[in-house]
A and B are shown apart, each in its own frame.
Chain A
Amino acid sequence: MKEQLESLQNEALDSISKTQDLKKLQEIKVSFLGKKGSLTSVLRGMGKLSKEERPIVGEVANRVRSSITAAIEQKNEELEAKAIEKQLEDEAIDVTLPGRPVQVGGKHVLTKLIEEIEDLFIGMGFEVQEGPEVETDFFNFEALNLPPNHPARDMQDTFYITNELLLRTHTSPVQARTMREYKGKKPVKMICPGKVYRRDNDDATHSHQFTQIEGLYIDRNVRMSDLKGVLNNFAKKIFGQDREIRLRPSFFPFTEPSVEMDISCKICGGKGCSVCKKSGWIEILGAGMVHPKVLEMAGYDSKEFSGFAFGMGPDRIAMLKYGIDDIRQFYVNDTRFLKQYHNA
């Protein structure tokens, strides 16, 4: 019987090792170990053995069973791994086919730039103020020391609606409004971005609608050197640490002294090229110390308070920064144009 068991074991191990199929393996398992399996039927004959023989054969039988079971398990694992491998092989795909596109939007290049400038000035203690685009003649001009018939009004061609109402030509009226709101007592630290309008024919460098950011800083003991420091910070953050600034005298009715700020030309490094009109400098913004009349008109004592103001055009800055040569691009919204700056 021992021999019988051993030959059964050999037979089983042999067929297990030969099988390459999970189903077959299951059949093998049943045919040897199942209720009607050959091992079971051999063991059924154990009853006929003597008392002495029984434990010996029993031990052999157990050994045979566990060796067959182990072999089946091992084979099972092996075959399952193979089956999965096969399945995964069948599941292979062409990884070079395109993925499902994600709809990605983005902000307008001017919005991005304006938000960047807002954040920069917020970091220097400024607030952001807004105001109406349809303004009164008073706030757009008179409150800024531009009385009717002032020659400097020629500097700005205005879209009038009535004699008293107009589309603002700059965002400076927001300054005048804020100063009045603060009633001549509180310091003012603000910038106001927004749309402005001029009576211009649209062409590559002119647009009847564009954007502007004005800034105003009023407090006790504000110095012109503070203006220079703030503008220098601004220029270096927006245009790069390697850029220099220069202030030159200019004229605006609402500031005295008035300056224009240039930055060194990046293209030629200051040597002079066509972009900077051979000067090595590019004009960026106008600024100055707030005119005492503007302070007084808004209720600030110009002996006690002083301040500076500046105004810049994000359109022009974006054009310089990204080499855009036509201002109309900002307003026709060609999506191919807009997309280029979504990662700006």
Chain B
Amino acid sequence: MNPVLTVRQLGKSYGGRAVLDGVDLVVEEGEIACLIGPSGAGKSTILRCLNFLETPDRGEITFGGERLCSEDGNLFQISPRRQLQAARARMPMVFQHFNLFSHRTVLENVMEGPCVVQGRPREEARMMASAHLDRVGMLGFAQHYPDRLSGGQKQRVAIARALAMSPALILFDEPTSALDPALVREVESVMRDLSRDGLTMIVVSHDMRLVRSIASTVHFCAEGRIAASGPAGQMLGSQAPLSMRVFLEAVSDLAGQE
């Protein structure tokens, strides 16, 4: 087995309050690791610390064989900015609110990373971007601006933008939770396709249908830690740990009320 990402004892505090309190996580190549758990558990913070959108304050992150931050005794060290930027380019993020560049067309959004960050020639980037847009079913909208798209379409473009980086890992933070129920399926089906193609992903989601359909491992987060982890079949089945079953019942109750 070949871990893409190894996280050990990751910690992060805001104003003295520990939001992450020793997170351990290993993600293998081709794995789809789903993080679930109650609101405020620190799931988004975990993702944002992995690509240093937030700066963790202790622990170790190893990504693609490179140490991004490390702890040696009491000394917590973060790699130089250049190295973090290079790591981010191979670990793009898909956000809850899409965050497409509003002043660029769909095609330009997807070309942006390859052209600007990777320095690829425009023609090559354009061809690659078109292929990725095709893959998410958005090639027909290449020349549109984001404000003309539905939420589901925007999210598919955001996924294409991440794919265009030839990533080793894609981070998803609640990719379907800002979408109307009718639009959730199109994003789900794109993500299912990606999971079949062997992409490595970490997916934070409250959408249990999505989790059930793509997860290879499930990690249950509570109070700034990963309280339980395991293969999806086991974690989502009847032998799930108690805390997890309580959470799942609460979630399905909520879903039932809607």
Real complex partners, A and B? Answer: no
Chain A positions near chain B (C-beta within 8 angstroms): none
Chain B positions near chain A (C-beta within 8 angstroms): none
